[in-house]
Chains A and B, each alone.
Chain A
Amino acid sequence: MARRLAGFLVLLLVVSICEAAFLFQPISDSHRSAALELFTPDHGSFKSLEETYEALRTFQILGIEKKPDLTATACRSISETVGSSSSTAKDLFYALKANSIAECKIDKKASKGIISRLNAAVSGASSLLDFYYSVGGLVLIKDQSSEADVHLADAEGVFRSVKAFSQSDGRWRYSSSNPESSAFAAGIALETLAGIVSLASSEIDQSLISTLKNDIIKLFDSIEKYDDGALYFDDKLVDGHEYQGPLSTTSSVLRGLTAFAAVTAENLNVRDTMLGLAKFFLGICVPGDAKDFFNQIDSLACLESNRVSIPLILSFPSTVLSLTRKDSLKVGVSTVLGSEVPSLTVKLVGAFSSGSKDASLVESQELNFDKASGLHILNDLPKSIDVGSYTFVFEVVLHEPEHEEVYFMGSQTKVPISVTGLIKVENSEIAVLDSDLGSIESQKKLDLAGKNAISLSANHLQKLRLSFQLTTPHGRSFKPHQAFLKLRHESKVEHIFVVGNSGKQFEIVLNFLGLVEKFFYLSGKYDMELTIGDAAMENSLLVAIGHIELDLPEAPEKAPRPPPQPVDPYSRYGPKAEITHIFRAPEKRPPQELSLAFLGLTILPLLGFLIGLLRLGVNLKNFPTKPVPATFAVLFHVGIGAVLLLYVFFWVKLDLFQTLKLLGFLGVFLVFVGHRILSHLAAASAKLKSA
């Protein structure tokens, strides 16, 4: 995991170093190290044959030494797939592809078995991918096995079936049931058709192959363009499942195109397109994904060794030249993979100042070829090229005319070049002038390169004048991007003024009479600071000049206040004032002894009642003696006691619902018992009365 992270960081660093648009670097060692980082097998082998093939092919193209254990594991999985009878056409296809690089031996019996299985797959194929894998497998096995007896039955029929999937806009469908068409599928189809032609070229009608040329031209109508001249193919994102992305789509189309060009003698006028495609692939720099990396490298290899045209690209070690260091302009010419090119000359045909449509600043001249470094060098920049940014226009002329057929350069290449240098700052002085007469009250010379501690004073009737001259190394006038004078008051209120120029002379005059309101009527000490800066200026400066005491009149009533200075923006997130909660003062309670005394007093009447009852002669003579009524009587009294106890509990602990529930039970019991005893008593007294 840490290794992957380190690899990712390396890739990030490499990508960040890579140049921006308009400039394309050929494949270099940074690609090789990135490839080694990306294509690392898990525990010695890759997840699938497809990935094994991609890794092997990438290493082969980049010229990285194959590791023997990688080849061994690849051979193992290849022979496993080849020997197994349950492998699909897709597995066989990728196994054979990997084998074309790993070069493991496949025995005769196995190859016979493969051929028969692939033939069966071809006759049973119904979708584009079926045809692709089976036909592609047959092409591969024909190259690899010593048995040259690979025969494609009914080649014309197969050709027509594949062609049946094509659409009128040059795209292809995957199968008859799927209406989605894509350029990615078009590339696959072209490869398949090229494979069919290579297997059985004599059997196929030439007119069919010619119609294919029209399909390719229609497909190329849908090519898309970036501003820097890169061309690419992209499909519409209809279904995320099938969408491949511009890189995969473009490389698929390119593979198909180069395969087709290799088997036919048709002349496809796609040289400009190949150069644009080369720019697209190189513009990606170093991809971060293994699949993207493979697509890029494989496509560049197709561009490098195809029959249509081999694009050449210009590369620049540096596009920023310093006049101080006396840098010379260096240009490299190579193929996309960084290989050698035939002898040629690079000519600088023009240089234009950025944004200007004037005539070229330089004459057409040839660059010298330095054999040692392999670069074309312009030793001395012409005097007309001063500090600034330019667009240089280059042309490449090949020495041998027959190479013109093979290599393609494009007509002219425009490259933005920046030239930097030291700007001379001279004759800088600052003065305080009297407003009406323009006479100088005090004048001081400034040394803008060193330290300054000028001290001036002025009132609102006077003016401040600052002036200096800027000259380029070649003696021309120079207008920098930034030329500001900043005045900062003691209370941190700032005012910034732009210094204007006429030719080389830069001057600013601050008329304090008009600026009084802008300065918010603040008198006092103002610090002065001058900023001169530009991208092409190697000695940009930000220098404190000194300070000026300004005496401004009093602010009238309605004058604008100076804007509040920003406080520390995080201070408002600090803690706020603390709030103390004020509780309601509790009610005054009586002293506890008083309450207890009255509790006792309340019991007193009850005692009085009981004593009174005794004095009256209350008795229990009517209490039933017979056992059944006696129990009922006892239960009745117990029931009443239980209800009263329930009420005590209700007050202390229970809530109303629980109480009512229990009261329900007790009540029913009490009513039943009470009814029994009272009816018994009633019967007894009625008997007594009647008797």
Chain B
Amino acid sequence: MGRTSSTKEDAGALFHSLRSAYAATPVNLKIIDLYVGFAIFTALIQVVYMAMVGSFPFNSFLSGVLSCVGTAVLAGKSNFLSPLFAKDLPPERAFADFVLCNLVLHLVIMNFLG
């Protein structure tokens, strides 16, 4: 009895501590997290659509999903908003890097979209 309730309490305590820790992260990082989340969510919706109607223009499906995943990855790797990681690379440089890589990614995606 005490065990299960303690497990539940532990889960709840864990969840609360995570939430409060997250609230303490700087705003810049939260923006990046939000961006990545938005990209992943868009990809998920596309996968659900494909599961429903079949993968006939497979190239289009792939390009759509990969564009979302790609931009998420690029956002994750670039550290232009956080002063924490800006030791060796100035944030503006990282941002320019991010923009350029995104543009190249989207060119390839558009070509593959068909």
Contact = CB atoms under 8 A, between A and B. Distances in A.
B42 interface: yes
A651 B110 contact: yes
B17 to A, nearest CB: 21
B7 interface: no
Interface string A649-691: 0110000100100010001000000110011011001000000
B73 interface: no
B84 interface: no
A601 B50 CA distance: 13
A650 B63 CA distance: 15
Nearest to A654: B110
Given A651-B113, A681-B92, A613 B34 contact: yes
B27 interface: yes
B31 A618 contact: yes
B95 to A, nearest CB: 7
Contact size class for A? Answer: 35 or more
A606 B42 contact: yes
B5 to A, nearest CB: 35
A640 interface: yes
Interface in B1-54: 27, 30-31, 34-35, 37-39, 41-42, 45-46, 49, 52-54
A396 to B, nearest CB: 104
A678 B45 contact: no
Contacts, number: 73
Contacts of B56: 587-589
Contact of B52 (A590, A606, A612, A685): A590
A650 B112 CA distance: 11
Contacts of B96: 674-675, 678
A679 B30 CA distance: 25
B54 A588 contact: yes
Contacts of B39: 605
Interface in A264-299: none
Contacts of A663: 107
Contact of B106 (A595, A604, A647): A647
B111 A656 contact: yes
A609 B35 contact: yes
A656 B114 CA distance: 11
Nearest to A659: B107
A559 interface: no
A643 interface: yes
A608 interface: yes
A434 B106 CA distance: 105
A569 interface: no
B66 interface: no
Contact of B38 (A606, A643, A651, A685): A606
Contacts of B42: 602, 605-606
B69 to A, nearest CB: 13
A664 B112 CA distance: 20
A153 interface: no
B62 interface: no
Nearest to A610: B38
Contacts of A659: 107
Contacts of A588: 54, 56
A685 B93 CA distance: 13
A667 B106 CA distance: 14
Given A651-B110, A678-B95, A598 B38 contact: no
Interface of B: 27, 30-31, 34-35, 37-39, 41-42, 45-46, 49, 52-54, 56, 90-93, 95-96, 99, 103, 106-107, 110-111, 113
The 10 lowest CB-CB distance pairs between A and B, nearest first, are A609-B38, A590-B53, A678-B92, A605-B41, A612-B34, A598-B49, A682-B92, A605-B38, A647-B110, A605-B42
30 contacts: A588-B56, A589-B56, A590-B52, A590-B54, A595-B53, A598-B45, A601-B49, A605-B39, A605-B41, A605-B42, A606-B38, A606-B42, A608-B38, A609-B34, A609-B37, A609-B38, A612-B34, A612-B38, A613-B31, A616-B34, A617-B27, A640-B103, A643-B103, A647-B107, A651-B110, A663-B107, A667-B103, A674-B96, A674-B99, A682-B91
